[in-house]
Structure 1
Amino acid sequence: MFKKFVRVLTVVVIFAMLFSNISFAISDKKPELTPSQKQMIREQIQNQKDFYKTIKTVEKHVKRNGDGTLEIKGTPKVKKEYLDTIKTNMAEINKLIKEGVLETDNNLRVYSNENYIQKGNLRNNKDNYVDYDVFFEDIEKAERTLDINIGNKTVSVGINGNAVYADSYSPPVGLYAYWWGWELALDEYATQILVKGLNAGAGASAIVAACSAAGIITAGAAVPAAIISAVLWFGGGYIDLIDYIGGNKGVYFRSYFYVTTPYIWYRS
Protein backbone atom coordinates (compact mmCIF):
# COMPACT_ATOMS: atom_id res chain seq x y z
CA MET A 1 0.00 0.00 0.00
CA PHE A 2 2.78 2.40 0.96
CA LYS A 3 4.74 1.68 -2.26
CA LYS A 4 1.61 2.31 -4.30
CA PHE A 5 1.11 5.64 -2.53
CA VAL A 6 4.71 6.66 -3.27
CA ARG A 7 4.28 5.79 -6.96
CA VAL A 8 1.10 7.85 -7.17
CA LEU A 9 2.71 10.77 -5.37
CA THR A 10 5.70 10.63 -7.72
CA VAL A 11 3.44 10.77 -10.76
CA VAL A 12 1.56 13.74 -9.31
CA VAL A 13 4.80 15.63 -8.64
CA ILE A 14 6.15 15.00 -12.13
CA PHE A 15 2.84 16.07 -13.66
CA ALA A 16 2.89 19.27 -11.62
CA MET A 17 6.45 20.02 -12.75
CA LEU A 18 5.51 19.57 -16.37
CA PHE A 19 2.61 21.98 -16.34
CA SER A 20 3.32 24.60 -13.71
CA ASN A 21 5.88 27.01 -12.37
CA ILE A 22 7.83 26.03 -9.28
CA SER A 23 9.47 28.37 -6.80
CA PHE A 24 11.81 27.18 -4.12
CA ALA A 25 14.33 28.70 -1.76
CA ILE A 26 17.98 27.79 -1.66
CA SER A 27 20.44 28.95 0.92
CA ASP A 28 23.40 31.02 -0.12
CA LYS A 29 26.04 32.84 1.87
CA LYS A 30 26.39 35.82 -0.44
CA PRO A 31 26.26 39.10 1.49
CA GLU A 32 23.14 41.20 1.69
CA LEU A 33 23.04 44.88 0.85
CA THR A 34 25.13 46.99 3.19
CA PRO A 35 23.66 50.13 4.79
CA SER A 36 25.63 52.33 2.37
CA GLN A 37 24.37 50.32 -0.62
CA LYS A 38 20.80 50.59 0.63
CA GLN A 39 21.22 54.34 0.99
CA MET A 40 22.59 54.60 -2.54
CA ILE A 41 19.61 52.68 -3.90
CA ARG A 42 17.18 54.84 -1.93
CA GLU A 43 18.74 57.91 -3.53
CA GLN A 44 18.47 56.30 -6.95
CA ILE A 45 14.82 55.44 -6.32
CA GLN A 46 14.01 59.03 -5.34
CA ASN A 47 15.81 60.24 -8.46
CA GLN A 48 13.72 57.86 -10.55
CA LYS A 49 10.47 59.06 -8.98
CA ASP A 50 11.41 62.65 -9.73
CA PHE A 51 12.61 61.80 -13.23
CA TYR A 52 9.42 59.88 -14.06
CA LYS A 53 7.27 62.86 -13.04
CA THR A 54 9.52 65.08 -15.11
CA ILE A 55 9.14 62.86 -18.18
CA LYS A 56 5.36 62.99 -17.90
CA THR A 57 5.42 66.79 -17.63
CA VAL A 58 7.91 67.39 -20.44
CA GLU A 59 6.15 64.91 -22.75
CA LYS A 60 3.28 67.36 -23.13
CA HIS A 61 5.74 69.78 -24.75
CA VAL A 62 7.45 67.29 -27.12
CA LYS A 63 6.69 67.65 -30.81
CA ARG A 64 7.71 65.50 -33.76
CA ASN A 65 9.27 67.29 -36.73
CA GLY A 66 8.73 66.42 -40.38
CA ASP A 67 12.02 64.51 -40.57
CA GLY A 68 11.09 62.37 -37.57
CA THR A 69 13.31 64.19 -35.10
CA LEU A 70 11.90 65.38 -31.79
CA GLU A 71 11.86 68.80 -30.17
CA ILE A 72 10.74 70.34 -26.88
CA LYS A 73 8.52 73.36 -27.44
CA GLY A 74 8.22 76.04 -24.78
CA THR A 75 9.66 75.80 -21.28
CA PRO A 76 8.20 73.00 -19.15
CA LYS A 77 8.02 73.76 -15.43
CA VAL A 78 10.52 71.18 -14.20
CA LYS A 79 13.94 71.20 -12.57
CA LYS A 80 16.51 72.73 -14.89
CA GLU A 81 18.98 69.86 -14.40
CA TYR A 82 16.36 67.31 -15.45
CA LEU A 83 15.33 69.38 -18.46
CA ASP A 84 18.96 69.79 -19.52
CA THR A 85 19.43 66.03 -19.14
CA ILE A 86 16.41 65.27 -21.33
CA LYS A 87 17.53 67.76 -23.98
CA THR A 88 20.95 66.11 -24.11
CA ASN A 89 19.31 62.68 -24.41
CA MET A 90 17.00 63.92 -27.14
CA ALA A 91 19.93 65.32 -29.11
CA GLU A 92 21.53 61.85 -29.11
CA ILE A 93 18.23 60.21 -30.11
CA ASN A 94 17.81 62.74 -32.94
CA LYS A 95 21.34 62.00 -34.16
CA LEU A 96 20.49 58.29 -34.44
CA ILE A 97 17.20 59.14 -36.18
CA LYS A 98 19.10 61.07 -38.83
CA GLU A 99 21.52 58.14 -39.22
CA GLY A 100 18.64 55.71 -39.80
CA VAL A 101 19.24 53.70 -36.64
CA LEU A 102 15.99 54.92 -35.06
CA GLU A 103 12.65 56.21 -36.30
CA THR A 104 9.61 57.75 -34.64
CA ASP A 105 5.85 58.07 -35.09
CA ASN A 106 3.32 60.76 -34.22
CA ASN A 107 2.74 59.19 -30.80
CA LEU A 108 6.38 59.92 -29.89
CA ARG A 109 7.23 56.25 -29.96
CA VAL A 110 10.79 55.44 -30.95
CA TYR A 111 11.53 52.32 -33.00
CA SER A 112 14.88 50.69 -33.68
CA ASN A 113 16.13 49.57 -37.07
CA GLU A 114 16.25 45.78 -36.90
CA ASN A 115 19.50 45.83 -38.88
CA TYR A 116 21.18 47.23 -35.77
CA ILE A 117 19.03 46.17 -32.82
CA GLN A 118 17.27 42.80 -32.78
CA LYS A 119 15.45 42.93 -29.43
CA GLY A 120 13.60 46.03 -28.35
CA ASN A 121 10.93 48.22 -29.92
CA LEU A 122 11.55 47.33 -33.56
CA ARG A 123 10.16 49.08 -36.61
CA ASN A 124 9.23 45.72 -38.16
CA ASN A 125 7.27 44.67 -35.06
CA LYS A 126 5.43 47.81 -33.98
CA ASP A 127 2.46 45.91 -32.55
CA ASN A 128 4.61 44.66 -29.65
CA TYR A 129 5.75 48.04 -28.39
CA VAL A 130 6.96 48.19 -24.77
CA ASP A 131 6.02 51.53 -23.22
CA TYR A 132 8.55 53.10 -20.90
CA ASP A 133 6.08 52.98 -18.00
CA VAL A 134 6.90 49.26 -17.68
CA PHE A 135 10.40 50.16 -16.55
CA PHE A 136 9.14 52.46 -13.81
CA GLU A 137 6.51 50.11 -12.35
CA ASP A 138 8.89 48.49 -9.89
CA ILE A 139 10.11 51.64 -8.13
CA GLU A 140 7.80 51.17 -5.15
CA LYS A 141 8.62 47.45 -5.04
CA ALA A 142 12.33 48.21 -5.07
CA GLU A 143 11.90 50.53 -2.12
CA ARG A 144 10.01 47.89 -0.12
CA THR A 145 12.67 45.28 -0.89
CA LEU A 146 15.29 47.36 0.93
CA ASP A 147 13.41 46.91 4.19
CA ILE A 148 13.22 43.12 3.92
CA ASN A 149 15.84 40.79 5.37
CA ILE A 150 16.73 38.97 2.17
CA GLY A 151 17.85 35.72 3.79
CA ASN A 152 17.53 32.79 1.40
CA LYS A 153 16.94 33.69 -2.21
CA THR A 154 14.09 32.27 -4.26
CA VAL A 155 14.62 30.61 -7.60
CA SER A 156 11.70 30.19 -9.99
CA VAL A 157 11.74 27.41 -12.56
CA GLY A 158 9.13 26.80 -15.23
CA ILE A 159 8.86 23.43 -16.95
CA ASN A 160 6.58 22.75 -19.88
CA GLY A 161 6.83 19.95 -22.41
CA ASN A 162 10.00 18.65 -20.73
CA ALA A 163 11.81 21.91 -21.56
CA VAL A 164 12.80 24.56 -19.07
CA TYR A 165 11.79 28.00 -20.24
CA ALA A 166 13.87 30.67 -18.62
CA ASP A 167 12.47 34.01 -19.61
CA SER A 168 9.00 35.36 -19.05
CA TYR A 169 10.30 38.03 -16.72
CA SER A 170 9.77 41.77 -16.92
CA PRO A 171 11.04 44.03 -18.32
CA PRO A 172 11.52 41.98 -21.51
CA VAL A 173 15.09 41.53 -22.76
CA GLY A 174 16.17 44.22 -25.18
CA LEU A 175 17.63 47.65 -25.81
CA TYR A 176 14.87 50.26 -25.81
CA ALA A 177 15.13 53.83 -27.04
CA TYR A 178 12.64 56.44 -25.85
CA TRP A 179 12.47 60.13 -26.58
CA TRP A 180 14.10 60.85 -23.20
CA GLY A 181 16.79 58.11 -23.02
CA TRP A 182 17.49 54.37 -22.98
CA GLU A 183 16.63 51.16 -21.16
CA LEU A 184 18.66 47.94 -21.34
CA ALA A 185 17.28 44.65 -19.97
CA LEU A 186 19.50 41.54 -19.83
CA ASP A 187 18.58 37.93 -19.13
CA GLU A 188 20.52 35.93 -16.56
CA TYR A 189 22.97 34.42 -19.06
CA ALA A 190 23.90 37.82 -20.48
CA THR A 191 24.05 39.37 -17.00
CA GLN A 192 26.66 36.84 -15.88
CA ILE A 193 28.70 37.40 -19.06
CA LEU A 194 28.59 41.11 -18.24
CA VAL A 195 29.61 40.58 -14.62
CA LYS A 196 32.51 38.27 -15.48
CA GLY A 197 33.71 40.61 -18.21
CA LEU A 198 33.60 43.68 -15.99
CA ASN A 199 35.36 41.85 -13.17
CA ALA A 200 38.07 40.87 -15.64
CA GLY A 201 38.54 44.51 -16.67
CA ALA A 202 36.94 44.21 -20.11
CA GLY A 203 35.00 47.47 -19.72
CA ALA A 204 32.88 48.46 -22.71
CA SER A 205 33.74 45.21 -24.49
CA ALA A 206 31.94 43.30 -21.72
CA ILE A 207 28.78 45.30 -22.36
CA VAL A 208 28.92 44.59 -26.09
CA ALA A 209 29.52 40.90 -25.37
CA ALA A 210 26.53 40.76 -23.00
CA CYS A 211 24.23 42.46 -25.53
CA SER A 212 25.43 40.08 -28.23
CA ALA A 213 24.92 37.04 -25.97
CA ALA A 214 21.33 38.15 -25.31
CA GLY A 215 20.72 38.54 -29.04
CA ILE A 216 20.04 42.25 -28.61
CA ILE A 217 22.44 43.75 -31.15
CA THR A 218 23.77 42.63 -34.49
CA ALA A 219 27.45 41.95 -35.06
CA GLY A 220 29.33 45.21 -35.22
CA ALA A 221 26.45 47.32 -33.91
CA ALA A 222 27.38 50.02 -31.43
CA VAL A 223 25.98 50.18 -27.91
CA PRO A 224 24.87 53.75 -27.04
CA ALA A 225 27.40 55.67 -25.02
CA ALA A 226 24.80 56.46 -22.35
CA ILE A 227 24.27 52.74 -21.70
CA ILE A 228 28.00 52.09 -21.49
CA SER A 229 28.56 54.91 -19.02
CA ALA A 230 25.69 53.69 -16.81
CA VAL A 231 26.87 50.07 -16.67
CA LEU A 232 30.47 51.03 -15.98
CA TRP A 233 29.29 53.35 -13.21
CA PHE A 234 28.03 50.35 -11.18
CA GLY A 235 30.73 47.73 -11.79
CA GLY A 236 30.51 43.94 -11.89
CA GLY A 237 30.29 43.23 -8.16
CA TYR A 238 27.32 45.49 -7.55
CA ILE A 239 25.49 44.28 -10.67
CA ASP A 240 25.97 40.69 -9.49
CA LEU A 241 24.57 41.54 -6.06
CA ILE A 242 21.43 43.16 -7.48
CA ASP A 243 20.96 40.14 -9.75
CA TYR A 244 21.38 37.82 -6.78
CA ILE A 245 18.80 39.45 -4.53
CA GLY A 246 16.30 39.28 -7.38
CA GLY A 247 16.68 35.51 -7.68
CA ASN A 248 19.11 35.55 -10.65
CA LYS A 249 16.65 36.48 -13.39
CA GLY A 250 18.81 39.19 -14.92
CA VAL A 251 18.94 42.96 -14.48
CA TYR A 252 18.02 46.13 -16.29
CA PHE A 253 19.53 49.58 -16.51
CA ARG A 254 17.91 52.95 -17.01
CA SER A 255 20.39 55.17 -18.71
CA TYR A 256 20.76 58.65 -20.09
CA PHE A 257 23.35 61.38 -20.28
CA TYR A 258 22.58 62.23 -16.72
CA VAL A 259 23.10 64.75 -14.00
CA THR A 260 21.93 62.19 -11.45
CA THR A 261 23.08 58.60 -11.03
CA PRO A 262 21.80 55.92 -13.42
CA TYR A 263 19.54 53.13 -12.20
CA ILE A 264 19.80 49.36 -11.98
CA TRP A 265 17.32 46.82 -10.63
CA TYR A 266 16.53 43.16 -11.08
CA ARG A 267 13.98 41.72 -13.46
CA SER A 268 10.96 40.02 -11.90
Structure 2
Amino acid sequence: MTAIITAPELVHELTGARPPVLLDVRWQFSLAKAAGAPAQDGRAEYAAGHLPGAVFVDLDQELAAPHGEGGRHPLPDLAEFGAVMRRAGVSASRPVVVYDGGLNWAAARAWWMLRFTGHPDVRVLDGGLPAWEGPLSTEVPTPAEGDFQPAPDASALLDADGAAALARAGVLLDARAGERYRGEVEPIDRVGGHIPGAVSAPTTENVGPDGRFLPAEELRDRFKALGVSEDAPVGVYCGSGVSAAHEALALAAAGIPAALYVGSWSEWSSDPSRPVAVGPDPQ
Protein backbone atom coordinates (compact mmCIF):
# COMPACT_ATOMS: atom_id res chain seq x y z
CA MET A 1 0.00 0.00 0.00
CA THR A 2 1.31 3.42 -0.93
CA ALA A 3 2.24 5.83 1.85
CA ILE A 4 1.85 9.01 -0.22
CA ILE A 5 -1.14 10.56 -1.99
CA THR A 6 -1.18 13.43 -4.48
CA ALA A 7 -3.64 16.31 -4.33
CA PRO A 8 -5.55 15.17 -7.47
CA GLU A 9 -5.81 11.66 -6.02
CA LEU A 10 -7.15 13.09 -2.77
CA VAL A 11 -9.78 15.16 -4.60
CA HIS A 12 -10.96 11.97 -6.30
CA GLU A 13 -11.12 10.00 -3.05
CA LEU A 14 -12.99 12.73 -1.19
CA THR A 15 -15.86 12.37 -3.67
CA GLY A 16 -15.90 8.58 -3.39
CA ALA A 17 -17.97 6.22 -1.31
CA ARG A 18 -15.35 5.96 1.47
CA PRO A 19 -13.67 9.36 1.81
CA PRO A 20 -10.64 9.49 4.09
CA VAL A 21 -10.46 11.17 7.48
CA LEU A 22 -8.32 14.31 7.14
CA LEU A 23 -5.83 15.37 9.82
CA ASP A 24 -4.11 18.78 9.73
CA VAL A 25 -0.76 18.54 11.55
CA ARG A 26 0.78 21.91 10.75
CA TRP A 27 3.82 22.53 12.95
CA GLN A 28 7.04 24.44 12.46
CA PHE A 29 10.39 23.34 13.81
CA SER A 30 12.50 26.09 15.30
CA LEU A 31 15.72 26.16 17.31
CA ALA A 32 14.00 28.32 19.93
CA LYS A 33 11.24 25.76 20.38
CA ALA A 34 13.75 22.93 20.50
CA ALA A 35 15.65 24.81 23.21
CA GLY A 36 12.51 25.03 25.36
CA ALA A 37 10.73 28.21 24.25
CA PRO A 38 6.91 28.18 24.40
CA ALA A 39 5.43 26.00 21.69
CA GLN A 40 4.07 27.65 18.57
CA ASP A 41 1.69 25.17 16.99
CA GLY A 42 -0.27 25.54 13.78
CA ARG A 43 -3.66 26.36 15.29
CA ALA A 44 -3.69 29.92 13.96
CA GLU A 45 -2.92 28.72 10.45
CA TYR A 46 -5.57 26.02 10.79
CA ALA A 47 -8.16 28.58 11.89
CA ALA A 48 -7.30 30.78 8.90
CA GLY A 49 -8.03 27.96 6.46
CA HIS A 50 -7.77 24.19 6.20
CA LEU A 51 -8.98 21.35 4.00
CA PRO A 52 -12.74 21.04 4.45
CA GLY A 53 -13.45 18.51 7.18
CA ALA A 54 -9.86 18.33 8.45
CA VAL A 55 -9.29 18.06 12.20
CA PHE A 56 -6.26 19.78 13.75
CA VAL A 57 -3.76 17.57 15.61
CA ASP A 58 -1.04 19.14 17.77
CA LEU A 59 2.34 17.45 17.27
CA ASP A 60 3.89 18.63 20.54
CA GLN A 61 0.83 17.92 22.70
CA GLU A 62 -0.83 14.94 21.00
CA LEU A 63 1.83 13.14 18.96
CA ALA A 64 4.53 13.34 21.64
CA ALA A 65 4.97 13.29 25.38
CA PRO A 66 6.68 16.19 27.17
CA HIS A 67 10.44 16.59 26.66
CA GLY A 68 12.22 14.35 29.15
CA GLU A 69 14.56 11.41 29.45
CA GLY A 70 13.21 9.96 26.20
CA GLY A 71 14.33 12.96 24.15
CA ARG A 72 12.51 16.03 22.85
CA HIS A 73 9.58 14.17 21.28
CA PRO A 74 9.08 10.89 23.19
CA LEU A 75 6.16 8.64 22.40
CA PRO A 76 2.87 9.92 23.81
CA ASP A 77 0.80 7.81 26.15
CA LEU A 78 -0.80 5.43 23.66
CA ALA A 79 -4.17 5.35 25.40
CA GLU A 80 -4.32 9.15 25.21
CA PHE A 81 -3.17 9.05 21.57
CA GLY A 82 -5.95 6.61 20.77
CA ALA A 83 -8.51 8.89 22.40
CA VAL A 84 -7.22 11.85 20.33
CA MET A 85 -7.52 9.84 17.14
CA ARG A 86 -11.04 8.64 17.98
CA ARG A 87 -12.14 12.22 18.69
CA ALA A 88 -10.77 13.13 15.26
CA GLY A 89 -13.00 10.48 13.71
CA VAL A 90 -10.32 7.88 13.05
CA SER A 91 -11.54 4.31 12.66
CA ALA A 92 -9.60 1.23 11.63
CA SER A 93 -11.92 0.62 8.67
CA ARG A 94 -11.59 4.10 7.14
CA PRO A 95 -8.51 5.53 5.37
CA VAL A 96 -6.68 8.52 6.84
CA VAL A 97 -4.81 11.29 5.01
CA VAL A 98 -2.54 13.62 6.97
CA TYR A 99 -0.97 16.88 5.81
CA ASP A 100 1.03 19.80 7.11
CA GLY A 101 2.40 23.08 5.77
CA GLY A 102 4.49 21.39 3.09
CA LEU A 103 7.68 20.17 4.78
CA ASN A 104 5.93 16.88 5.59
CA TRP A 105 7.92 16.28 8.78
CA ALA A 106 4.91 16.74 11.07
CA ALA A 107 2.59 14.86 8.71
CA ALA A 108 5.10 12.02 8.61
CA ARG A 109 5.14 11.87 12.42
CA ALA A 110 1.33 11.48 12.42
CA TRP A 111 1.59 8.89 9.64
CA TRP A 112 4.22 6.94 11.58
CA MET A 113 2.27 7.08 14.86
CA LEU A 114 -0.83 5.67 13.21
CA ARG A 115 1.10 2.99 11.31
CA PHE A 116 3.10 2.05 14.44
CA THR A 117 -0.13 1.65 16.39
CA GLY A 118 -1.77 -0.52 13.78
CA HIS A 119 -3.85 1.62 11.44
CA PRO A 120 -3.84 -0.18 8.06
CA ASP A 121 -4.42 2.73 5.67
CA VAL A 122 -2.63 6.05 6.29
CA ARG A 123 -1.11 8.34 3.68
CA VAL A 124 0.60 11.72 3.59
CA LEU A 125 -0.48 14.46 1.17
CA ASP A 126 2.59 15.02 -0.98
CA GLY A 127 3.54 18.70 -0.86
CA GLY A 128 1.19 19.40 2.02
CA LEU A 129 -1.33 22.22 2.02
CA PRO A 130 0.51 24.22 -0.71
CA ALA A 131 -0.21 21.35 -3.13
CA TRP A 132 -3.97 21.64 -2.55
CA GLU A 133 -5.76 23.64 -5.24
CA GLY A 134 -9.30 23.24 -3.93
CA PRO A 135 -11.27 25.41 -1.52
CA LEU A 136 -10.30 25.87 2.11
CA SER A 137 -12.62 26.08 5.09
CA THR A 138 -12.58 27.91 8.42
CA GLU A 139 -15.30 25.70 9.87
CA VAL A 140 -14.15 23.44 12.70
CA PRO A 141 -15.68 20.00 12.11
CA THR A 142 -17.25 17.80 14.77
CA PRO A 143 -16.70 14.30 13.41
CA ALA A 144 -18.46 11.24 14.72
CA GLU A 145 -16.37 9.34 17.25
CA GLY A 146 -14.07 6.82 15.64
CA ASP A 147 -13.25 3.34 16.90
CA PHE A 148 -9.46 3.23 16.48
CA GLN A 149 -7.68 1.28 19.22
CA PRO A 150 -3.84 1.46 19.21
CA ALA A 151 -2.10 -1.90 18.85
CA PRO A 152 1.62 -1.04 18.69
CA ASP A 153 4.07 -3.01 16.59
CA ALA A 154 7.20 -3.46 18.69
CA SER A 155 9.26 -4.32 15.60
CA ALA A 156 8.76 -0.78 14.25
CA LEU A 157 10.34 0.85 17.31
CA LEU A 158 13.96 1.14 18.41
CA ASP A 159 15.37 2.18 21.78
CA ALA A 160 18.97 3.34 22.27
CA ASP A 161 20.36 -0.17 22.67
CA GLY A 162 18.39 -1.38 19.68
CA ALA A 163 19.70 1.49 17.55
CA ALA A 164 23.28 0.71 18.56
CA ALA A 165 22.81 -2.96 17.71
CA LEU A 166 21.15 -2.22 14.37
CA ALA A 167 24.01 0.10 13.39
CA ARG A 168 26.26 -2.97 13.63
CA ALA A 169 23.93 -5.64 12.23
CA GLY A 170 22.05 -3.66 9.58
CA VAL A 171 21.77 -0.08 8.30
CA LEU A 172 21.01 2.80 10.66
CA LEU A 173 20.25 6.03 8.78
CA ASP A 174 20.81 9.46 10.35
CA ALA A 175 18.24 11.86 8.84
CA ARG A 176 19.79 15.10 10.17
CA ALA A 177 21.78 17.60 8.14
CA GLY A 178 25.26 16.41 7.25
CA GLU A 179 27.04 19.02 9.35
CA ARG A 180 25.25 17.83 12.48
CA TYR A 181 26.02 14.19 11.65
CA ARG A 182 29.70 15.07 11.23
CA GLY A 183 29.70 16.99 14.51
CA GLU A 184 30.73 20.27 12.89
CA VAL A 185 27.80 22.10 14.50
CA GLU A 186 25.27 21.16 17.15
CA PRO A 187 22.80 23.96 17.88
CA ILE A 188 20.51 21.99 20.20
CA ASP A 189 21.93 18.91 21.88
CA ARG A 190 24.69 18.38 24.44
CA VAL A 191 27.26 17.17 21.91
CA GLY A 192 27.59 16.87 18.16
CA GLY A 193 28.27 13.77 16.09
CA HIS A 194 26.40 10.56 15.38
CA ILE A 195 25.70 7.08 16.66
CA PRO A 196 28.73 4.92 15.78
CA GLY A 197 28.00 2.94 12.64
CA ALA A 198 25.14 5.19 11.47
CA VAL A 199 25.10 6.40 7.87
CA SER A 200 24.39 10.03 6.96
CA ALA A 201 21.12 10.28 4.98
CA PRO A 202 19.74 13.84 5.21
CA THR A 203 15.96 14.03 4.96
CA THR A 204 16.26 16.89 2.47
CA GLU A 205 17.50 14.43 -0.14
CA ASN A 206 14.19 12.54 -0.10
CA VAL A 207 12.52 15.31 -2.05
CA GLY A 208 13.00 17.26 -5.25
CA PRO A 209 13.34 21.04 -5.71
CA ASP A 210 9.55 21.39 -5.40
CA GLY A 211 9.59 19.79 -1.95
CA ARG A 212 7.70 16.71 -3.10
CA PHE A 213 8.95 13.18 -2.69
CA LEU A 214 11.19 11.71 -5.35
CA PRO A 215 9.65 8.90 -7.42
CA ALA A 216 9.78 5.50 -5.73
CA GLU A 217 12.49 4.20 -8.07
CA GLU A 218 14.74 7.17 -7.35
CA LEU A 219 14.20 6.69 -3.62
CA ARG A 220 15.11 3.02 -3.94
CA ASP A 221 18.30 3.97 -5.79
CA ARG A 222 19.14 6.54 -3.13
CA PHE A 223 18.79 4.11 -0.26
CA LYS A 224 20.59 1.35 -2.15
CA ALA A 225 23.57 3.71 -2.56
CA LEU A 226 23.52 4.20 1.22
CA GLY A 227 23.86 0.46 1.78
CA VAL A 228 20.22 -0.54 2.17
CA SER A 229 19.50 -4.02 0.83
CA GLU A 230 16.90 -6.74 1.20
CA ASP A 231 19.22 -8.71 3.45
CA ALA A 232 19.69 -6.27 6.32
CA PRO A 233 17.29 -4.55 8.74
CA VAL A 234 16.96 -0.78 8.45
CA GLY A 235 16.47 1.84 11.15
CA VAL A 236 16.27 5.63 11.18
CA TYR A 237 16.84 8.43 13.67
CA CYS A 238 17.22 12.22 13.65
CA GLY A 239 17.38 14.89 16.33
CA SER A 240 14.12 14.16 18.12
CA GLY A 241 12.17 11.58 16.14
CA VAL A 242 10.27 13.93 13.78
CA SER A 243 12.33 14.27 10.61
CA ALA A 244 13.25 10.59 11.00
CA ALA A 245 9.57 9.81 10.44
CA HIS A 246 9.94 11.58 7.09
CA GLU A 247 12.83 9.25 6.31
CA ALA A 248 10.71 6.25 7.34
CA LEU A 249 7.96 7.56 5.06
CA ALA A 250 10.38 7.86 2.12
CA LEU A 251 11.60 4.33 2.80
CA ALA A 252 8.01 3.08 2.88
CA ALA A 253 7.33 4.83 -0.43
CA ALA A 254 10.31 2.91 -1.82
CA GLY A 255 8.92 -0.35 -0.46
CA ILE A 256 11.48 -0.65 2.35
CA PRO A 257 10.32 -1.29 5.93
CA ALA A 258 12.24 0.53 8.66
CA ALA A 259 12.18 0.88 12.43
CA LEU A 260 12.31 4.31 14.09
CA TYR A 261 14.46 5.32 17.06
CA VAL A 262 12.05 7.84 18.57
CA GLY A 263 14.45 9.15 21.22
CA SER A 264 16.98 9.86 18.46
CA TRP A 265 20.04 12.06 19.01
CA SER A 266 18.33 14.16 21.70
CA GLU A 267 18.11 11.06 23.90
CA TRP A 268 21.37 9.40 22.84
CA SER A 269 23.54 12.50 23.32
CA SER A 270 22.04 13.27 26.73
CA ASP A 271 23.67 10.13 28.17
CA PRO A 272 27.44 10.70 28.62
CA SER A 273 28.00 6.95 28.70
CA ARG A 274 26.90 6.55 25.08
CA PRO A 275 29.72 6.64 22.50
CA VAL A 276 29.79 9.42 19.92
CA ALA A 277 31.36 9.32 16.46
CA VAL A 278 32.35 12.44 14.52
CA GLY A 279 33.42 13.05 10.95
CA PRO A 280 32.00 11.89 7.62
CA ASP A 281 32.47 8.15 8.17
CA PRO A 282 30.11 5.87 10.11
CA GLN A 283 33.00 4.44 12.25
Structure 2 length-normalised TM: 0.25
More strand by share: 1
Which of these two proteins has the greater Rg computed from alpha carbons? Answer: 1
Structure 1 length-normalised TM: 0.25
